[in-house]
Structure 1
Amino acid sequence: MDSERTVKTTAEQLEALTKENERLKQELSALRQEKEKANPISFKERYAVKILNSLPDMLTVFDHNEIGIEVVSNEETNHVGVTNEDFVGMHMRNMVPPEAYQNIHSNMQHAVATGTVSAAHHELDFNGKRHYYENRIFPLDEKYVLIMCRDISERVATQRQLEVFKSVLDKVSDSILAVSKDGTLVYANKQFIEEYGVTKELGTQKVYDLPVSMTTKEAWEKRLQEIRDNDGSFAYRAAYVRMGETKKRVHQVSSFLTHENEQELIWFFTQDITDVIKKRDELRELNQLLDGILNNIPVYLFVKDPADEFKYLYWNKAFAEHSGIPASKAIGHTDYEIFQSEEAEKFRKDDLELLRTHQRIDIQETYLTANGEARIVQTLKALVPMEDREPLLIGISWDTTNLQNIEQELIKARIKAEQSDRLKSAFLANMSHEIRTPLNAIVGFSQLLPTADTPEEQKLYSDIINQNSDILLQLINDILDLSKIEAGTLEYVKRPMNLGEVCRTIYAVHKERIKGGVDFIFNNGEEDLQMEGDPNRIMQVITNFITNATKFTHTGEIRFGFEREGENVRVYVKDTGIGIEKEKVGHIFERFVKLNSFVQGTGLGLSICRMIIEKIGGEIGVTSELGKGSTFYFIIPCTEVD
């Protein structure tokens, strides 16, 4: 009973205490509110400590004697190496190095004397690192000053980096410019300022006021839009006349769009490529000149790469024209892909020998062109050293095919001339005999003619005299014709003629002269052929053919005539005489050639016939078989006349 009564009493007491506590709290709150109403606390006073602690500056109060009074800011901003407790009562000179003290001291004296804010800077080694500080000194009253000290090390480092960066930009050869979106100049390096003659403050000038490609506001806005449309990057080429110059300079410009502090900046990096363009043009002109020279000199030029299976790197125009192989089919290919295997193997062997010895090669080579023609070339091959790679093989070839042919022709001409000289000598020796023989006969039988006893004997002597007179006359005519031909005065007069009549006249003249046992036949009989020509020269050639036939035909027949062959006429003399040896047929129309030295004649007749026929645009020839006879013929144009 007593314990229950005790618990109940205790509970009642606790409840009474709780109520009393609540009442006291209410009274205390009421008293506090009354106090605040009587003495209100400002917002600054309520949050002053928090505000001070949030500042990055070290706030200190000194008296005018430079004695530390109080550190207002928190401990984290303290960077003088003196604790907040030790700060109070310590002189400033004992807190910082002498150089820093002198700087702060001077500015503090100025602030106290003038009553205005003063600024000072000093440096300290703090935690093993050099720090830079900015001090702003505020006079509080006649006794105290407030010093706000801020660590500006990062700002100084940034500023120094910026100065280094600007110094570097001032030394580059490119012109650099930063422009705001309205065209105002924001930054320009030294090169840009000098290049474009910028004299005013950057912020007072617009980009379109400068002698650049964008000379109007509209042009600038168009360029700005191009940069934006191209994802903030744009490259182009511009040309302008530089200040003080008359020549145009060419620039390569790259533009970039950046954003700083919500400001749009457009950067221009301009490179003067005037000299580059000039050198490029000069190089192009030089290459064109060299290409023109290399493609017009009358020699083959080629370059091979020994490091790449000796593939051709260059193949000039002369090589392409003479070989029939265009450069497009040669460059990038080996000799095995261009020439026949035997030729390619020979070329490769020479190339390898050159690569082994490094001694230039001078050789004569033969190759087949694309159309199968054999060409002879004199080739010089050498190695050309290169800086960063294996040497190249260069070849120069002179096409000597024509020279070789001319040389062979000259040799033949020399041999022929020597032979002609020998024949002339033989001709002169023989001519004296040929002339003397008929003259002796004429003189001798002329003396015998008066002594003839019978008319038959007189006729015999007379015939011999006439025959030798004809021989002598023919000799003289041949010599005269040869002289006219060599002098270029041999006449050939075209006029209307009847070839049938000419042949019948020839037939009548020779019919009686041809000895018995040989039939003389004119195939065309009474046939006529009216045409243009020189009857005397045609008669001369036919007569020569018949005269030769009579010399070498002793039995059988001599047959002559003419026949049409299209627009030409073919005249022939065919005999059954001794014929001509095969190896001598090709020389029958040459001068001073006599196939039989025992037969009378100069050896000029057939060569004169050849010159006559060739002069009138005709063709002369012979077919012969030894022991069976020969056929001499000529073919001349036949222009018929009424």
Structure 2
Amino acid sequence: MDDIVRSRPEPDLSASQMMIFDVLPEAYLVTNERYEVLTANSRYLDVIGTSLPQIVGRSVYDINQHVPYEQRETRRAWLDSVLPSLRLGETRSSPILRYDLPLAEDAAAGQVPERYWQARVSRVSSGNGLPGTDLLVFCLTDVTESVDASERNKRERAKLRSQARLRQVLIDEANAELRSQQARLQEVLTFARVGAWEWDLANGEMSCTEQCYRNMGIPLGEPLNAHRLFTELIDPEDRARVHAAVERSISSHDYFEVEYRVTWPDGSVRWLLARGAPHGPAHGAPTSLVGFILDITERKQAELHHQAVAQEEKLARERSESEARAMDHFITAVSHELRSPLHAIVSWTMLMQRTSDPSYVARAVQVIERNTRQLSLMVDDLLDSGAIATGKLSITPRPVDLGALAGLVAEDIRFNAEARHIRLIAEALSPCLVMADEGRIKQVIWNLLTNAMKFADGGTIEVSVTADSTHAELMVRDTGIGIPPDALERIFDRFQQAQNGQAARVAGLGLGLWLVKNLVALHGGTVSAHSEGLGQGATFRVRLPRFR
């Protein structure tokens, strides 16, 4: 019986099939039903670091055995579990196996690094109709870099997430990787899934297999040429890149590989992988390009998903670092700003205890009162800041005359302005009703005016209220030191203050404008700042919806 089996002719592959087989990007090995190697493509020989004569005729169990015993046994166990029961048309995949097979560059360096692989095997018909002549097609993928990258990502995520969340992420990623591997398996299992094509460089005409038409999303038999390919089928954003890859291939007499998008008649966008090589006389210009095309949509979507996840994690790290810096700044600002008024209160309290001079006592009372008020304002700002940050700050809106309210706040602050030789102008205050929390809008106006006073000693502050058909606008303009252009974008950030000239001596936590921005946002309005630069003053505008 063995003699009869051995006498059966082995199936042959046609020249065109061999050409397509040899340029496949995956590593393929073909055996007969006795598991004896018939052929392998160039990618397989490059990956394994061997030549075809060294493996042809040998059992798949006997090749590539230069690894530790445990790894060989794991490989053998998988082959034993799959090959005897593999049915015609069926495909099975291995788990990721460690198999430290040294590549050529590893052997030259005297190193044997860890390597990981995934294999797929399909049983296909040879097509000659003879019993016992089916083929076993093995596809071998080196997943070492993926395993290494996965391990690095795991370690990075472990720094940012709790152990419970990390476990869930690892489970999700394992499932996603499994789905991706299954999708890729379905794309390149057999030659039937490969869309082969030939491009005549003389007239631009292209001849394609049925699978090629399916991958491109066009009806079978429709005319296909280079002009249609680059003007209709390939996505406009990808055409120049694909054309450049083809031109390089022709001029260098080397293969090309390029990914691009096409839109199917149903409107879905598909990612395709095209790989080809010039064909023609050994010496001279190529006469054609031959190659294959694969639908890699699922793999590309997974790749883009992983990129999005990586970008999301990067942004999360940046947000975490930013919050940590903000917390450090907060602690520094609070400790510094609270220390000054507390020191003044303690010092003048001790002076009051040591003297009975009424003039010193009266001055001490004024200093203590002023610094106590400053402490109270800082504590209020901190409490409001915490309430806004946690989403617990609420407002009670009712109709409020913005012009009248701005006038009241301006009168309250006028005495302090005049004491600092600041001219306060509050004449253009048009009556205008807005739906707002009066106390919070008053706080907005107060913060804008006191902020202007900090930077406008000896200058002018102008406050006005105007209205159009939909909005009321509060404007506070000063002739102070101005705002540098690079600071305008962050002037409303928490704990931000100007750090030049007089502003460096201004007390505060840097919360005033941040509170203004958030309080205005709670009312459905906007706030903006404008300055021509240092020494040019600054203008703040608050826009609120009018009450109807």
Q: Which has the higher contact order (CA 8 A, sep 6+)?
A: 2
Query: Where is the strand percentage greater, Structure 1 or Structure 2?
Result: 1
Larger Rg: 1
TM-score by length of 1: 0.43
Q: Given the two structures, how large is their TM-score scaled by the length of structure 2? A: 0.50
